[in-house]
Structure 1
Amino acid sequence: MVSYDEELADRVEDLLGVRRDAIPKRMFGGIAWLVNGNMAVVVRSKGGLMVRVSPDDHDDLLAEPGAATTVMRGHPMRGWITVSPEACTAPSDVAAWVDRGLSYALSLPPK
């Protein structure tokens, strides 16, 4: 049984699946894409996306519609943005968030 938005996952796969270095993996009840071993973007089980971003850009990105700091086990995660399902309806918005996650993951050393 799939517990995440399969349509959103298909849209992310369309954007990242063309890359040999982007590997999908079931995580957090959703599906994550790792690039060179670094997590870039997750389709969340609760809907929407979780996107890895530069901690330096974190606060500025919170101004984007539907963006919030990711909280895991009660702790805010600087460098991770949760994007609401409502902010993931337009293909251009999804592409922009996926690009942000990809760009940051590519800036990190491979694992």
Structure 2
Amino acid sequence: MVDRDAMARAHEIFDPIAERQCALPDIDLGRMFGAEGLRVRAKVYAFVVHNGSLVVKLSEERARDLIASGTAGPMIMRGRPLREWVEVPMDAGAAVWAELIDEARVFVDAITP
């Protein structure tokens, strides 16, 4: 179920970050998991989900660290946690979101031909 209020609040944080990201080379917006997200050379690295959380792709080790610290939870897809994807709640704040989006971009850029 989509929480439209949470999505609107999340996009107040995400959209300005996305605008700055899209000014970088090879970055644009595209679809993944039914949401529009940031992509580097067509590979998605960050997007907002139906509950207003940010989802980012990071190394498996970094994802485990964020989950262990309580900063993020695992991204669950079809009942399974995805190893390199974490879900960061809105209450983590814009600065944390911006930092993790940058980190995700660098990670995906490095693994994308």
Q: TM-score when scaled to structure 1?
A: 0.81
Higher helix share: 2
In structure 1, stretches of 5+ residues that fail to align are none
SS at 2:59 equivalent: coil
- Mapping of 1:13-24 within 5 angstroms? 13-24=18-29
Tell me the amino acid that sits aligned with residue 77 of structure 1. Answer: L
Is 1:94 aligned to residue 103 of structure 2?
A: no
Shift, 1:83, TM fit: 0.4
Match of 1:52 among 46, 57, 82: 57
How many positions carry a matched residue from both structures? Answer: 106
Letter in 1 for 2:108: A
Match of 1:69 in 2: 74
Identity between Structure 1 and Structure 2 (%): 26
Residue 16 of structure 2 corresponds to which residue in structure 1?
11
Asked if the contact 1:15–1:95 (Cα under 8 Å) also holds between the matched residues in 2, the reply is no
RMSD (Å) for aligned C-alpha atoms? 1.9
CA distances 1:14-51 after superposition (whole Å, capped 9, x unpaired): 33121131111233343211101221111212212000
Structure 2 gaps of 5+ residues are none
